[in-house]
Structure 1
Amino acid sequence: MKKTMKDQKMVLIILLSNIFIAFLGIGLVIPVMPSFMNLMHLTGQTMGYLVAVFAMAQLIMSPFTGRWVDRYGRKKMIIIGLFLFAVSELIFGLGTNVSVLYIARVLGGISAAFIMPGVTAYIADVTSDEERPQAMGYMSAAISTGFIIGPGIGGFLAEYGIRMPFLFAAAIAFVACVSSIFVLKEPLTKTQLAEIAANAKQANFISDFKRSLQPLYFIAFIIVFVLAFGLSAYETVFSLFSDHKFGFTPKDIAVIITISSIFGVIVQIFLFGKMVDRLGEKKLIQICLIAGAILAAVSTMISGFWTVLTVTCFIFLAFDLLRPALTTFLSRAAGIEQGFVAGMNSTYTSLGNIVGPALGGILFDVNINFPYLFSAVIIVIGLGITIFWKEKQLG
């Protein structure tokens, strides 16, 4: 019988801290990137490529690391991921030419591919079906919180030098790595890992991708892609959209994103578990998709700071509830193969994060409203797909 979340408080704190630190490190560097760009004499195109190679590296590695999580254990993958993340931030902070920065970003993407499946599978292993939605809600909140406070801390640290946020991110990741070595214990026995490994084929991107097309997983993975695509397209053009259409200042935009994110985190922590209990994953996912599509379209018709803030709060909330609801469903469907499913979850998320911003930027150049309208259409398609979701899959 699994221990309750209360009995495993320290383990969950370490796991959530790990995922929080990874996303805090990503958020830390956001405010200094324009200054870093000027210091290194980088073009906007180069900065775009530096963002893309992170997602590409994560995309390519995720199926492999997902399998390795099942084969070699959750703890090892988490520790390796945190170590690689620390090294990537250190290299980026000390880098003096573009090729070194690319190496750092590739390492960062690989580290994310280790950390995400490892933590997701570990949480799934140590929580019961009843407690898992709440635990996944906490994980999603840790990700969001890292993004929220990261830029603020990064801006403060930049006062002490433009490279300081990167060095700080490396330091906290290393501390998390060391603490995980001593606090975390592998949740599966060697026999269980050997059994999973015996049932799994050699890690292969194509075979894993084909396997993700099975009816049990496919619809959920497509919605994972839709979520990542819609949210990244929305977020990528949000500051440009707000600046061009409403004349908002960077401070206005920062306030809207911060308040919206905090609102989402609060609901995740206190209400997500209850919402899943009352509605079930399928209905909650459908409600979030409906709200997301409507609000994305409404975003093209509104004006005024408070109206934009209100709409943004609820569209962020819809996306913030979708993520843990999908993760919970997938972890239940996975059985003992948590690593494979968590890895493919990361793969489809990366695909959305690569395609969404690219298309969002292209459409923005054509018409300022097109990225939001296109996001709405993609979300509606995702909603249509859930109609074919069989209830028995959610058992």
Structure 2
Amino acid sequence: MKKTIKEQKLVLIILLSNIFIAFLGIGLIVPVMPSFMNIMHLSGKTMGYLVAVLAVAQLLISPLAGRWVDHYGRKKIIISGLFLFGVSELIFSLGTTVSALYISRILGGISAAFIMTGVTAFVADITSVQERPKAIGYISAAISTGFIIGPGIGGFIAEYGIRMPLFFAAGIAFLACISSIFILKEPLTKEQLAEISANTKQTNLIGDFKRSLNPRYFTAFIIVFVLAFGLSAYETVFSLFSDHKFGFTPKEIATIITISSIFGVVIQLFMFGKMVDILGEKKLIQLLLIIGAILAVVSTVISSFLAVLAVTCFIFLAFDLLRPALTTFLSKAAEKEQGFVAGMNSTYTSLGNIGGPAMGGILFDVNIHYPYLFAAVIMVIGFGITIMWKENRLGESLAKNLRS
């Protein structure tokens, strides 16, 4: 019998803190990136490549991280990820050449794959099927909160020097690494890890992709990819769209993003678990896809600040709830393959995040409305894909979990 969330409060706090710190660190450097660009005389193309290389590294390592989580254990992978994250931030803070920055971003992508995969699998292991949606909602909220306050804290710390936010990010990563060593306890026994590892030791990257075609997972993975592709296209051009169409100031754009993000975090923390209980993952995902598609279209016809704020709040909320809903669905279907599923979830997300921003930028140059309309079409396609879901597959998986 697994302990309740309340009984494992300290462990969950540490796990959520690890995720929070990783995404806080990513957000911390946002305010100082233009300064790095000017000081090192970097082109916009180079800055774009620095963003892309992190996503590519995460994409390539995520399947391996999933296998290693099942082989070496959740705790070791999480600790390794935190250590690598600290090192990557340290390299970036001390870097004086473009190659050093690339090395930093590659390590950052590897660390993100390790931390995301390890924490997701760890949480799935220690929570019951009934409480898992709430716990995964907490993970999503921790990610969003890190993104929200990261730039603000980074801007404040940057007053003491543009490299200080990076030193700060490295410091808290190393502290999280040390606290995890002493507080976290591997949720699976050596015997359980050996059993899982024995079933996957013959696999490779191609084999992992083939395993992801399993009907139990495939539809959800495709939706993960489609969602990441469409939403990253939408989110990438939001600031540009707001500036070009409405003439909003950076302060107004920041206000919209901050309020929308806080709104999403509050709903994730207090409502997500109840929504899953009432609707189930499939119906909730379908509802959110419909709402997201409608609001993406509405975004192209509104003009006032308050209207943009209201629509953005709800479309960002739909995005924020879709991610944990899909993760919950996959986690429940995974049974003993939590590491593999968490790794492939990260892989398909990375695939979408690489292609989506590029497509959004291309469409924006053609017509500023096209990225939003494109996102709407992608969400409609995602809704169509959900119709292929076999409810009985999930029901059989849940029944097995409940019996265990």
What is the Cα deviation at residue 211 of structure 1?
Answer: 1.2
- Cα separation, 2, equivalents of 1:157 and 1:200: 45
What is the Cα deviation at residue 227 of structure 1?
Answer: 2.1
What is the Cα deviation at residue 197 of structure 1?
Answer: 0.6
The two structures have a TM-score, normalised by structure 1, of: 0.99
Q: Which residue of 2 aligns with 1:163?
A: 163
The amino acid that maps onto 1:146 is G
Q: Is the counterpart of residue 261 in structure 1 residue 261 in structure 2?
A: yes
The amino acid that maps onto 2:230 is G
Q: Which residue of 2 aligns with 1:367?
A: 367
**Gap regions ≥5 residues in structure 1:** none
- For the Cα contact (< 8 Å) 1:64–1:203, is it kept in 2? no
Q: Which residue of 1 aligns with 2:402?
A: none
Q: Which residue of 2 aligns with 1:57?
A: 57
Instruction: Show the 5 A alignment for 1:244-393.
Output: 244-393=244-393
Q: Which residue of 2 aligns with 1:217?
A: 217
- Cα separation, 1, equivalents of 2:203 and 2:251: 46
The amino acid that maps onto 2:329 is F
Deviation track 1:291-324 (CA, whole Å, cap 9, x = no partner) reads: 1111111111111110000010000000111111
Instruction: Show the 5 A alignment for 1:93-108.
Output: 93-108=93-108
Question: Following TM superposition, where does structure 1 have runs of at least 4 consecutive aligned residues deviating by more than 3 angstroms?
Answer: none
Q: Which residue of 2 aligns with 1:147?
A: 147
- For the Cα contact (< 8 Å) 1:63–1:203, is it kept in 2? no
What is the Cα deviation at residue 93 of structure 1?
Answer: 0.7
Deviation track 1:208-256 (CA, whole Å, cap 9, x = no partner) reads: 1111112111111111112212221111100100000000000000000
- For the Cα contact (< 8 Å) 1:120–1:342, is it kept in 2? yes
- Cα separation, 2, equivalents of 1:203 and 1:42: 41
- Cα separation, 1, equivalents of 2:360 and 2:351: 14
Q: Which residue of 2 aligns with 1:174?
A: 174
- Cα separation, 2, equivalents of 1:211 and 1:219: 13
Q: Which residue of 1 aligns with 2:401?
A: none
The amino acid that maps onto 1:113 is A
What is the Cα deviation at residue 114 of structure 1?
Answer: 0.5
Q: Which residue of 2 aligns with 1:123?
A: 123
The amino acid that maps onto 1:44 is G
Deviation track 1:7-57 (CA, whole Å, cap 9, x = no partner) reads: 110000000000000000001111111111111110000000000000000
Q: Which secondary structure state, in structure 1, belongs to the residue aligned with residue 42 of structure 2? A: coil
The amino acid that maps onto 2:98 is V
Q: Which residue of 2 aligns with 1:242?
A: 242
- For the Cα contact (< 8 Å) 2:134–2:272, is it kept in 1? yes
- Cα separation, 1, equivalents of 2:255 and 2:144: 15
- For the Cα contact (< 8 Å) 2:25–2:169, is it kept in 1? yes
- For the Cα contact (< 8 Å) 1:256–1:309, is it kept in 2? yes
- Cα separation, 1, equivalents of 2:301 and 2:249: 20
- For the Cα contact (< 8 Å) 1:83–1:174, is it kept in 2? yes
Deviation track 1:106-154 (CA, whole Å, cap 9, x = no partner) reads: 0000001111010000000000001100000000000000000000001
Q: Is the counterpart of residue 227 in structure 1 residue 266 in structure 2?
A: no
The amino acid that maps onto 2:166 is F
What is the Cα deviation at residue 376 of structure 1?
Answer: 0.7
- Cα separation, 2, equivalents of 1:311 and 1:288: 14
- Cα separation, 1, equivalents of 2:37 and 2:202: 41
What is the Cα deviation at residue 203 of structure 1?
Answer: 4.4
- Cα separation, 2, equivalents of 1:279 and 1:393: 17
- For the Cα contact (< 8 Å) 2:53–2:102, is it kept in 1? yes
Q: Which secondary structure state, in structure 2, belongs to the residue aligned with residue 7 of structure 1? A: helix
The amino acid that maps onto 2:191 is T
- Cα separation, 1, equivalents of 2:393 and 2:358: 33
- For the Cα contact (< 8 Å) 2:227–2:378, is it kept in 1? no
- Cα separation, 2, equivalents of 1:46 and 1:140: 30
- Cα separation, 2, equivalents of 1:379 and 1:394: 22
- Cα separation, 2, equivalents of 1:130 and 1:287: 21
Q: Which secondary structure state, in structure 2, belongs to the residue aligned with residue 3 of structure 1? A: coil
- For the Cα contact (< 8 Å) 2:84–2:107, is it kept in 1? yes
- Cα separation, 2, equivalents of 1:308 and 1:209: 40
Q: Which secondary structure state, in structure 2, belongs to the residue aligned with residue 129 of structure 1? A: coil
Q: CA RMSD in A?
A: 0.7
Deviation track 1:147-171 (CA, whole Å, cap 9, x = no partner) reads: 0000000110110101111110000
- Cα separation, 1, equivalents of 2:76 and 2:46: 34
- For the Cα contact (< 8 Å) 2:66–2:340, is it kept in 1? yes
Residue identity over aligned pairs, in percent, reads 81
Q: Which residue of 2 aligns with 1:13?
A: 13
The two structures have a TM-score, normalised by structure 2, of: 0.97
- Cα separation, 1, equivalents of 2:394 and 2:32: 44
Q: Which secondary structure state, in structure 1, belongs to the residue aligned with residue 7 of structure 2? A: coil
- Cα separation, 1, equivalents of 2:291 and 2:222: 18
Q: Which secondary structure state, in structure 1, belongs to the residue aligned with residue 31 of structure 2? A: coil
- For the Cα contact (< 8 Å) 1:74–1:118, is it kept in 2? yes
Q: Which secondary structure state, in structure 2, belongs to the residue aligned with residue 174 of structure 1? A: helix
What is the Cα deviation at residue 393 of structure 1?
Answer: 2.5
Q: Which secondary structure state, in structure 2, belongs to the residue aligned with residue 31 of structure 1? A: helix
- For the Cα contact (< 8 Å) 1:295–1:311, is it kept in 2? yes
- Cα separation, 2, equivalents of 1:306 and 1:11: 41
Q: Which secondary structure state, in structure 2, belongs to the residue aligned with residue 327 of structure 1? A: helix
Q: Which secondary structure state, in structure 2, belongs to the residue aligned with residue 36 of structure 1? A: helix
